[in-house]
Structure 1
Amino acid sequence: MTPSPNIILIHCHDLGQYLGCYGVDIETPNTDQLAEEGARFVNHYTAAPQCSPSRGSLFTGLYPHRHGLLGLAHTDWELDIKQTVPYRLSKHGYETHLFGLQHISETPDDLGYDEIHTAGSLSPDVSPEIHSINRAKDVADTVASYLNAGIESPFFASVGFFEAHRIEMEEDEEEGDVLYGFGGRYEGDDPDSIEIPSFLPDESGIREDLAAMRGMVYAIDDAVGKILDAIKSAGLDDETLVLFTTEHGIAFPRAKGTCYDPGIEGCLLMWYPPLIDAGMASEHLVSNVDILPTLVDLVADEVPHEVDGHSLLPIFDGDLRYYPRDEIFAEITWHDMYNPVRAIRTNRFKYIRKFWHLPRVFLPNDVYASLAGREVRGHYGRPSRVYEELYDLKSDPDEQENVADDEAYAQIRTELMSKLSTWMHETDDPLLNGPVIPQDYDRMFDGIM
């Protein structure tokens, strides 16, 4: 095993686990190959069901309320530490590169990269113009050229694709409002030919949006294949760790923007032949806060004591003992609006605590103003929020039956509520002190209140 392997972290938008290797009825041969030749994490969840906070956790190993991104980076929030993956790996002799999307800072020069390629400095705006700059195809072309140019090792490359984020389409004349979809550049599938995830209703708007999104998934898969081919043609197979992941679930109702499983699930594939056995499928409960400590452990044989994540290396190394997680945590505070939610998930149960009066199921703007959103927003949008939710994932994997008030689950509810409260206190969650105000609001009211 190479002492300091090259590391390529490929990440995309809003994909969840919508891949063939996760059992979806879609052909994704390149990501499937990555799973077949490496490891697939079956129970991988993200720290937040939204972009910037989750990406901040991926790159710092900290939960959102600990790294500062309690909302989107292009609005009122910013990372308040400089302990990202590139900073840490630079200390161990790595040359660090940013390709394409990042969306954790408006000032990417502060993220610790030695070189920023393509459009890494831009936030992933939903406009077609910005989307076109960070397209998977174009970013992958740049990465492939870099890999085949005779590079120096070891290097770390963050490779970010815009897909599969919704984009703002032309105004819908019939409905008289903005419509968010998946663009006209991608060849999707026949809406009548696809399977609908069990947590979504089988309605025409759902089918049309899913069919269109699949075109973006094909673009992601093609780009992954191009990068894998470049790694092999450059002769870097045995000295490069490749990770492929996303920041949260698909941009559909009861997924993106919620702490239900379809909102916080994320693919996680890892490929490194000298260490990872081909075809490994880990059932362990893992979080994206575990990525940074895993990388630092791999290159420096240590795990930073201040991070929230755990190293995953012992899962691959039989000489090391892995201590499985009993639970993972997830949160959302701000997205399009104030929406404070905290959640804890075990292998069998999910407990969700909501702290504000909003509609029963939150729909981010791009989901609300979509064909899929129109199918459900009359039902989900009613202001009938329940502040506590408990689900038995064994009997109710789609989280449809809230058993928080069921006496048979009283002990489980008490235990998970206590664990969630303890976690919030131990991590100094600002929500414990009342409503969390964005930085711009502080400046707005400075001298008035």
Structure 2
Amino acid sequence: MQVSSQTAHTKVKPNILFAISDDQSYYHTSINGCTFVKTPAFDQIARRGVFFTNCIAGSPGCAPSRSAIVTGRYPWQNEQAGQHASSWMKKYISFIDLLASNGYHTGYTGKGVDPFQYARNENDSLWRKGNAAGKAYNSIRYQKGDGTDPRPASGISDINYYENFKNFYNAKGASEPFFFWYGAAEPHRGLERGSWKRSGKTLKEVQVPPFLPDNDTIRGDLLDYAIEIEWFDCHLQKMLDFLKEKGALENTIVIVTSDNGMAFPRAKANCYEYGIHVPFAFSYPDGIQAGKIVEAPVSFTDIAPTLLELTKTTTKGMMPISGKSFLSLIDNSADSSDHFALSGRERHSYSRYNNWGYPQRALRNKEFLFIWNIKPKRWPAGDPQRLQSLDGKDLFPKFGIDTRGIHHPEWAFTDIDASPSKSFIIEHYKDKAIRPYFDWSTALRPEYELYRVSTDPGCLHNLSGLDDYQSIENKMKDLLVTELQRSGDPRITAPLPEIFDSYERYSGPVRAFPEP
């Protein structure tokens, strides 16, 4: 790492602003060439610091990914504290706790390390009492209809992230360093349909991913998604401007990323590129030379050890960290040719019989993505037909399509968030031109998948089993198994590999499905 002479001779601890959007794929920043999303704040951080072009989320779902960030461990290493909507066991100490012990003023606004169930009372003695992101600063909110509400879409959170950040900043001591977690709720589903029409955006500027049909419905859905990414980015810009005004920006580490990919079919809740490949920019003007691009894959588990190293904070108290600091990649002192990152998922929502998940593990290097679908006989997007009640036998119509041909997103394939894109693909699944998109999103999958993501980012051409790629597949499969064994993944090392399906859930709609 190239460190400025000023930093080398001072003991002032760097501040940290960690900004994380909710459900944004790597491809959707303007610095990456996206034509329908404008992200000047993200671009600023990428240009004045380091732009990581291959950051892989810990999971294609929010809770396990956020768990990986703050513990430096893979979700499968964290028991309930690595699973969506389960309990957070207090033995899984967050690196943010260690920063607080090292003199940092810590807090968050918006969505913290969630959704998890934290301790409700003394009976939850094994659970953490407060959010793993620190103290909440969410009291300042927009008031709809008061004439000053600037939100461009009705689905956007009423939390005023920027004003809450100012509140947090003003509460710290004059010489006290800070760690702040800015966790936007956007662009998570709940998007206002057609909100893009008030923005000056046009359908023709949209780049449609190859796994989605190209039509006005899909393009409009993507523009509604873009509106909310830009909302996240504009609050980040306000925070950066505020820090500059206070003279604190140069000594502030800024990280901008997203917890997982976009909430569209075959993206979020899938270990494909658009599910686990996320934007990632890192800047530290006092300590890191600007204008770097790192193409080597990095993992969410690498964030905690990097920040602990930069702040000279001990790891004492945390469970063993699996990630490694990425600072050596920035100064080119590490050989990055063999770098890789792991990701994986278990349960995402109540989407199968007996609340079963769809376990996946993935290994991503610079050019290829290898996926192990551990239970290939399960439906990857959730069961195609749901029971109408928890204790009944009557089923909703197949695929959630009623007698009028209208799709009901909560009736089937519920690991795909409700959206116009989901409904369009399912309602038109009998159309010859649409059927491939339906199958890509919902059909059963082989146990192993291999994609050359450098030329096939949509992950549509499975190379697994092909003679020309057998050597690559074997090496990646062996490496994945070795790393899962090393990290103690219960799926291959424990006497109870199904333990993940047994963890209790504490939020989200409860659904019932027939026994397969």
**TM-score clears 0.5:** yes
Shift of 1:213: 1.1
Shift of 1:282: 1.3
Of 11, 24, 36, 1:15 maps to 24
Shift of 1:149: 6.4
Partner of 1:144: 166
Q: Deviations over 1:174-197 (max 9, x none)?
A: xxxxxxx58799847332332223
Partner of 1:445: none
Of 34, 56, 75, 1:64 maps to 75
Q: Deviations over 1:45-76 (max 9, x none)?
A: 11100100001111111100112344323xx3
- CA RMSD across the alignment: 2.9
Partner of 1:345: 364
Give the SS at the match of 1:110. coil
Which one has the bigger strand percentage? 1
Partner of 1:88: 98
CA contact (8 A) 2:24 2:262 kept: yes
TM-score (norm 2): 0.74
Worse-matched range after superposition: 369-378 or 299-308: 299-308
User: 2:218 aligned with 1:218, yes or no?
Assistant: no
Q: Deviations over 1:226-248 (max 9, x none)?
A: 00011011110222111111101
CA contact (8 A) 1:7 1:240 kept: yes
Partner of 1:308: 322
Of 351, 376, 392, 2:425 maps to 376
The structure-2 alpha-carbon separation of the partners of 1:88 and 1:150, relative to structure 1 and needing over 3 Å to count, comes to closer
Partner of 2:256: 244
The structure-2 alpha-carbon separation of the partners of 1:80 and 1:130, relative to structure 1 and needing over 3 Å to count, comes to farther
User: 2:378 aligned with 1:358, yes or no?
Assistant: yes
Partner of 2:109: 99
Shift of 1:98: 2.0
Q: Distance in 1 between matches of 2:133 and 2:343?
A: 28
Ranges in structure 2 where 5+ consecutive residues have no aligned partner: 1-6, 119-127, 141-152, 352-356, 383-411, 430-437, 506-516
Q: Distance in 1 between matches of 2:198 and 2:72?
A: 34
CA contact (8 A) 1:53 1:72 kept: yes
Partner of 1:116: 136
Q: Distance in 1 between matches of 2:201 and 2:95?
A: 37
The structure-2 alpha-carbon separation of the partners of 1:119 and 1:294, relative to structure 1 and needing over 3 Å to count, comes to farther
Q: Deviations over 1:376-403 (max 9, x none)?
A: 3442365432111112234433321112
Q: Deviations over 1:330-379 (max 9, x none)?
A: 10100023111111111222111112223366697374531111233442
Worse-matched range after superposition: 228-237 or 22-31: 22-31
User: 2:347 aligned with 1:334, yes or no?
Assistant: yes
CA contact (8 A) 1:16 1:267 kept: yes
CA contact (8 A) 2:264 2:421 kept: yes
Worse-matched range after superposition: 30-39 or 215-224: 30-39
Amino acid at match of 1:142: N
Q: Deviations over 1:253-293 (max 9, x none)?
A: 22111111111011111121112222222112101111100
Worse-matched range after superposition: 93-102 or 76-85: 76-85
The structure-2 alpha-carbon separation of the partners of 1:80 and 1:339, relative to structure 1 and needing over 3 Å to count, comes to farther
The structure-2 alpha-carbon separation of the partners of 1:119 and 1:164, relative to structure 1 and needing over 3 Å to count, comes to farther
Shift of 1:164: 0.5
Shift of 1:323: 4.7
CA contact (8 A) 2:260 2:268 kept: yes
CA contact (8 A) 1:358 1:383 kept: no
Shift of 1:317: 4.7
Give the SS at the match of 1:405. coil
Worse-matched range after superposition: 364-373 or 261-270: 364-373
Shift of 1:131: 5.7
Give the SS at the match of 2:53. strand
Q: Distance in 2 between matches of 1:113 and 1:263?
A: 23
Shift of 1:133: 3.9
Give the SS at the match of 2:69. helix
User: 2:182 aligned with 1:159, yes or no?
Assistant: yes
Partner of 1:200: 212
The structure-2 alpha-carbon separation of the partners of 1:298 and 1:415, relative to structure 1 and needing over 3 Å to count, comes to same
Amino acid at match of 2:215: E
Within 5 Å, give how 1:401-440 maps onto structure 2.
Answer: 401-432=461-492, 433-435=496-498, 436-440=500-504
Shift of 1:91: 2.6
Amino acid at match of 2:25: G
The structure-2 alpha-carbon separation of the partners of 1:368 and 1:270, relative to structure 1 and needing over 3 Å to count, comes to closer
Partner of 1:281: 293
Q: Deviations over 1:424-449 (max 9, x none)?
A: 222221223432323238xxxxxxxx
TM-score (norm 1): 0.84
Query: Larger Cα Rg: Structure 1 or Structure 2?
Result: 2
The structure-2 alpha-carbon separation of the partners of 1:341 and 1:112, relative to structure 1 and needing over 3 Å to count, comes to closer
The structure-2 alpha-carbon separation of the partners of 1:254 and 1:407, relative to structure 1 and needing over 3 Å to count, comes to same
The structure-2 alpha-carbon separation of the partners of 1:284 and 1:79, relative to structure 1 and needing over 3 Å to count, comes to farther
Q: Distance in 1 between matches of 2:197 and 2:97?
A: 36
CA contact (8 A) 2:381 2:416 kept: no
CA contact (8 A) 1:188 1:216 kept: no
CA contact (8 A) 2:191 2:224 kept: no
Give the SS at the match of 1:167. coil
CA contact (8 A) 1:44 1:286 kept: yes
CA contact (8 A) 1:147 1:231 kept: no
Give the SS at the match of 1:78. coil
